[in-house]
Amino acid sequence: MQTLFQDLRYATRQLIRNLGLTITAVVSLALGIGATTAVFSVIYATLVNPYPYPAADRIVRLTVSSKANFSDGINLNGSQVKQLQQLHSVEGMLAMDYDAMNLTGHDLPENVNTISLISNGFHDLGVSPIVGRGLSPSDARDGQEPQPVVVLSYKFWQKHFFGDRAVLGQTLQLDQKNYVIVGVAAPRFTWYSADVFLPLKLMQAPSRRYIIDILLKPGATRDAANAELQPLLKQFAQTMPKQFPEHFKVQVEGLNDWVIKSIGGTLYLLFGAVGLLLAIGCGNVSILLLARGTARQHELAVRAAIGANRRRIVRQLLSESLLLAIIGALLGVALAYGILAGMQMVLPKYAFAPEVVIRINLPVLLFSIGVALGTGVLFGLWPALQLSRPQLSRMVLSGTRRVAGSVHGRRMHDVLIAGQIALTLLLLAGAGSAMEGFARLMHTPLGYDPNNIVSVGVPLHKNAFPAWAARAAYFEQLRASVAETPGVTMAAISSNATPPRNGSNLRFELLGKPSTDQQMGSINLVDSDYFPALRIPLLQGRLWSEAENQNGAHVAVINQTLARSYFPNGDAVGHSVKLPDIESRPPEVLSAPGAADAWLMIVGVVADARNDGLKNPVKPAVFIPYTLSMSEGTQILARSDVPPLTLMHAVGKQVSAVNPEQQIYNNLEDLNVWVSEEPEWQQDHLVSWIFGLFAVLGLALAAVGLYSVVSYTVAQRTNEFGIRMALGAGRGHVLRIVFSSTLVSVGGGVLCGLALTLGLNKIVAQWADGNARDPVVLLAGSLLLCLVAGIACAIPARRASRVNPMTALRCD
């Protein structure tokens, strides 16, 4: 034990004596451990274990896909839900209805997002409330009105009741009706981001349809569920054909499939990037330890000469390596928390489930620490075993050895440096590709002006304004009131048409032209002020008038893409279009009389504007008066001459002036934010930032590793340089020797990096919207790497060229 303490004290002195080496090695390990742990913690939280529900892998969403490969969820009514419950593969149904209700008692009506959940929902989801109980079957019996009870979400409980556990039995007033609080959901129970949960009255009017999730029985596969559901949904389609595509295929999807599709590949790509960073960091440590061991040959020979045995020397070198690795691991743990906090700031806001809780993943942290300790042991043990049997003659020939160096050691250094350079170039090429793609995305023409305009969501209370004329008049009254807000220059109705991902994907027919199932377009419900509010230019014809809008006139405006595709002669104005899938489901959806069967005259053509995200081509679009089909809510686009979010309280006042009980949605955002929250924008932003950061860190680590090797090489060859300069060699000659010693490793690393980049381009390009094979990206990355390598070599080379020959000759 005493000798162990002696070894640790001596190791500490050695690390302090070689402070530059110590700091470099510790930082290299800490960056690798911290970055790897943080990124995998995000992957684990969002892709591996995103939900708190014990049977999350058996909960699936009911969707159907058409022949045109469009996939969409299907809502069903109460009797249809009952039929699905009888299927062999189904254990439980998670039917629910979303509603925006009004919480009174504040300056303005406050919107509350409610989920009316089927009574078995809490039981099937399997997460117990932290206070009270969840919803139970007795809260909503068939043939009876649901009990006036409510379960609060954890966030709502904290915000409105400050976490008071005595909340049970208190009353919550929603839409002027009192509900008794019977429970508070667990913190991670955020099913469909609800504020509160109410019992669902399943057997209502056949027109009332619900969002459907299915709990499969243990052992039931998704394919088996699809096979059982297909014939039953075909029966449903016969009674409600407008809800289903003409030819469809049932395809249930897992709860987290949408996250895996949208951002899963991006996160795995980033994990590959931090894996490279960890490899570069460990390579740095190995280079430093090998170089340090080679430089200490003389010291170890002296220790052996005065009686130190091999075991003692190996233990001493290992204690130094392990101490270095332990310090790096401890710093890496602290750094992991910091990197994770930084990542959460740039992670896409709506790219994963609201139930996700991102925290440090302990198994990965332990694995990364193990890699760091393993690196310390391996590359500390290697020189220790080689140098623990020194010959006494080395003391005599130490000057010669410094001239010649160790050929094997130099080769090992060259291989490690080349590997670092190759991995760094791969990171640089990936980062360059991602940044190039993100820059291109940011300059994508939108076709509309998103500046200084905000979308104000206005939900209607359930069964409000059940008459078509009254609802149309109410929406227009709200729009006119918002337009009168001081600072608002224009207001327009955009029921479902707020870009850059807007409209309902429905079939359309053109009079006199053949129709197919795949003739789908973006159907937008707007008023005529929509186009000037978004500054979308009119190219042909006219827009409909306010009177036509209020009367539900059978008119339409199409976009340039639809006009080019179906009217190549430029004669679209005057033709007619039909939208057969527009339906009327009172009181939820009120359509103008005969809207689904009417031919709508095309009166104008407008310029294209993004309507299917930022990367997909613009879809054919039809714009019709919003009064042709009005659901229980709308959106009002408000353009202002000041930052629009500063006017939201005033806008809320204007809405409340029309109807004191009318709330607006809480999450108001301007249209620039709508653009930045698109999945492709968020994905490219995440990849470019984090990939770029890791590439810079990798470049710095590779430069430090190269600098360390060249510095140790110069120190070993001090005698040689002194002899050469004493015999007449100039400084330029010494500089050439130093640079040529690294030419092979750097050049080989660049070539290997180019080969790796070209070989892995498909993987990188799949999730980074750029081309890693772009000659500009490859050339820029290679030149940057060579420049940094040149600077890393130039500093010790300059020091070697300025050595005093007499001092060098006396150097041992």
pLDDT at 550: 92
The predicted model scores a pTM of 0.81
Continuous segment of H or E residues that includes residue 538: strand 538-541
Continuous segment of H or E residues that includes residue 172: strand 171-174
Is 641 exposed, middle or buried, given 0-12, 13-18 or 19+ CB atoms closer than 10 A? exposed
pLDDT at 462: 80
Stretch 224-253: mean pLDDT: 89
139, 147 Cβ separation under 8 angstroms: yes
pLDDT digit string (tens) for 123-180?
999 999 999 999 999 999 887 889 999 999 999 999 999 999 999 999 999 988 899 9
Residues near 47 by beta carbon (within 8 Å), at least 6 away in sequence: 256, 259, 260, 264, 267
Give CA separation, 679 vs 340, 394, 563, 689, in Å.
Answer: 21, 64, 29, 15
Stretch 756-766: mean pLDDT: 73
SS3 606: strand
Between residues 397 and 185, the one the model is more confident about:
185
Q: Kindly report the number of other CB atoms within 10 A of residue 420's CB atom.
A: 33
434, 688 Cβ separation under 8 angstroms: yes
User: Which amino acid is located at 464 in the chain?
Assistant: A
pLDDT at 261: 83
Closest to 620 measured CA to CA, from 576, 559, 568: 559
The two tokens of residue 773 are 């094979």
pLDDT at 307: 63
For the cut 80, the answer to whether the pLDDT of residue 356 exceeds it is yes
pLDDT at 82: 92
In the chain the first and final C-alpha atoms are separated, in Å, by 35
Could you tell me the residue ranges of all domains in the chain?
1-50+281-396, 56-255, 462-660
Is 376 exposed, middle or buried, given 0-12, 13-18 or 19+ CB atoms closer than 10 A? buried
**Largest Cα span, the chain:** 107
pLDDT at 402: 43
Residues near 608 by beta carbon (within 8 Å), at least 6 away in sequence: 447, 559, 560, 561, 618
Residues of the chain above pLDDT 70, percent: 86
